[in-house]
Amino acid sequence: MQKRREVFSALGLGLAGFTVGSGLMAATACGRGEQDSGPARARIEIIPGVVDVSDMRIATREARGGDELVLIHPSLARGALDYDIVLPTLARAGYRVVSFDPRGIGATRNSDERLRDITLHDLADDVRALVAALGATSAHLIGHDYGNRVMRTVAVDHPQLVRSLTLWAAGAGTPEPEALQILNTVIDDNAPVDRFQAAVKKGFFAPGNDPRVWYTGWYTRGGVSEWAASTTTPVADYQLGGTARILIVQGLQDFIAPPQKSRDLQARMGARASRVEIDHAGHCMVAEQPTQLSKVTIEFLHSIR
């Protein structure tokens, strides 16, 4: 099974400055993870869509079980499809759940100019515009890995938009040297396949979980732009995530953003931030433990009502 190779080094962008990660091919559960299925559960259909935002056409995937909007931002160089595995469960809890392809990712269409010289504030403006285009005035925001930095920026720049903020696989600070080496291998187009696979397994998956779901589904064009946006945005601009209530969900076997980093982040955010640890989950977590991840997220969302 071959990886769709991604080369970030062409722009001369370094790894220092933020925690990097990715999503998953959402149709496949891995390891101890469970799929949302069963005849006793109401069927929730996932509907693909396109939303016009300025001169962009943003591709979305929506599961609707209510009117209260929950918006999911994918991780670095990943798209909306990664979250099909949790959308129906979240929707069944009474929400309108939308994931989307950011600039340069998946089926979203935008000019090359939209990918140049941007910051996290520009990507946060995309989220603000998307919420409005979806006909909502506010939303519960979920950010997975890289997406958590965008959503934290939204919470700072547009606090009136945010009902709550959920961070999946987030942390404070930068990856450790060995984690940086793994990240370099994963994004190296010339890395031997066996080395790439070993890096994915160690960096992003808990022992016993199947890393093969992370071998495809990468988008270089958008990922390079996202990488640049993060490196050019001061951490202080978004670190504390505004003033909304926050849930941090931590995989206990996360190698890229280990538990101590999320503990540090929670401590900086103070009493408005709560934190839940999930066992048998690494940095991918969405495909590793979709049932548990959905459960703790829904419990938090319900507490906001």
Asked if the structure places residue 203 within a domain, the reply is no
Asked if the structure places residue 154 within a domain, the reply is yes
CATH classification of the domain holding 63: 3.40.50.1820
**How many angstroms separate the Cα of 231 from the Cα of each of 112, 195, 200?**
19, 26, 23
**Cα(230)–Cα(118) distance, rounded to whole angstroms?**
9
**Cα(33)–Cα(281) distance, rounded to whole angstroms?**
9
**Cα(28)–Cα(283) distance, rounded to whole angstroms?**
16
pTM: 0.85
Q: Tell me the helix, strand and coil percentages in the chain, rounded to 5.
A: 35, 20, 45
Asked if the structure places residue 297 within a domain, the reply is yes
Asked if the structure places residue 206 within a domain, the reply is no
Contact assessment for residue 202 and residue 255, using Cβ atoms and an 8 Å cutoff: yes
Asked if the structure places residue 69 within a domain, the reply is yes
Asked if the structure places residue 38 within a domain, the reply is no
Can you give the pLDDT at residue 6?
Answer: 38
Can you give the pLDDT at residue 275?
Answer: 96
Contact assessment for residue 32 and residue 209, using Cβ atoms and an 8 Å cutoff: yes
- By three-state DSSP, how is residue 285 classified? coil
DSSP 43: P
Contact assessment for residue 31 and residue 208, using Cβ atoms and an 8 Å cutoff: yes
Asked if the structure places residue 95 within a domain, the reply is yes
Domains: count for the chain? 1
Can you give the pLDDT at residue 222?
Answer: 85
pLDDT digits (tens), the chain, 305 positions:
333 443 333 333 333 322 222 333 333 333 333 344 444 466 899 999 999 998 999 999 999 999 999 999 998 788 999 999 999 999 999 999 999 999 999 999 999 999 999 999 999 999 999 999 999 999 999 999 889 999 999 999 999 999 999 999 987 767 778 987 877 676 666 778 898 888 889 988 999 999 998 887 778 788 878 888 988 999 999 999 999 999 999 999 999 889 999 999 999 999 999 999 999 999 999 989 999 999 999 999 999 97
Range of the domain at 92: 46-174+218-303
Task: Give the DSSP letter string of 88-157.
Answer: HHHHHTTEEEEEE--TTSTT-B--GGGGSS--HHHHHHHHHHHHHHTT-S-EEEEEETHHHHHHHHHHHH
Asked if the structure places residue 31 within a domain, the reply is no
**Cα(201)–Cα(190) distance, rounded to whole angstroms?**
18
**Cα(143)–Cα(128) distance, rounded to whole angstroms?**
14
**Cα(80)–Cα(73) distance, rounded to whole angstroms?**
8
Report residue 50: phi and psi, to 5°: -135, 130
**Cα(243)–Cα(266) distance, rounded to whole angstroms?**
13
